[in-house]
């Protein structure tokens, strides 16, 4: 899952007050990451079809998830170097898509909060 912010108002704010925007964006991406991590492990898929999160037998697959932070971007993924069998399981049980879908509402709410915090910080209350 990739989360990338491309709002025109955010771009304008970056030029005017880069420090405020950078800190608020960093906070947003960390919140989004926490939501994804939490949701991935909250409802593990079990044999028989219950749950939608990461399939769990030993927990190794869940622990193989990583987050890559870049300026204004978060990538949440399963690292095949840590659990190479994940690439075979995911096509049959796409838990990353389920995790993204389950987290989408909260992340969108956080994105609105991000923009409100930036506008408020810049004196636009």
Structural domains in the chain (count): 1
- How far is it, in rounded angstroms, from Cα 72 to Cα 114? 12
Write out the two tokens for 110: 């956080």
Give the pLDDT mean for 106-124: 84
DSSP 93: S
Q: Give me the domain span that covers residue 57.
A: 2-121
Average pLDDT over residues 106-117: 91
Q: What is the pLDDT of residues 25-81, one digit of tens each?
A: 999 999 999 999 999 988 888 766 667 888 888 889 999 999 999 988 999 999 999
Higher per-residue confidence, 35 vs 90 = 35
Picking from 61, 95, 69, the residue whose alpha carbon sits closest to that of residue 2 is: 69
- The pLDDT assigned to 121 comes to 78
* Mean pLDDT confidence for 108-121: 87
> Considering the entire predicted model, what is its pTM?
0.82
Tens digit of each residue's pLDDT (9 = 90 or more) over 13-38 = 778 888 888 899 999 999 999 999 99
């Amino acid at each position: 899952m990739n989360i990338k912010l491309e709002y025109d108002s955010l771009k304008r704010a970056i030029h005017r007050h880069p420090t405020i925007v950078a800190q608020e964006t960093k906070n947003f991406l960390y919140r989004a990451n926490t939501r994804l991590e939490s949701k991935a492990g909250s409802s593990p898929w079990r044999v028989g079809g219950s749950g939608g999160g990461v399939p769990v037998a030993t927990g190794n697959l869940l622990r193989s998830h990583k987050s890559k932070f870049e300026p204004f971007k978060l990538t949440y993924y399963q690292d095949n170097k840590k659990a190479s069998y994940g690439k075979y399981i995911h096509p049959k049980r796409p838990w990353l898509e389920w995790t993204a879908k389950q987290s989408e509402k909260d992340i969108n709410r956080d994105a609105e909060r991000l923009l409100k915090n930036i506008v408020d910080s810049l004196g636009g209350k």
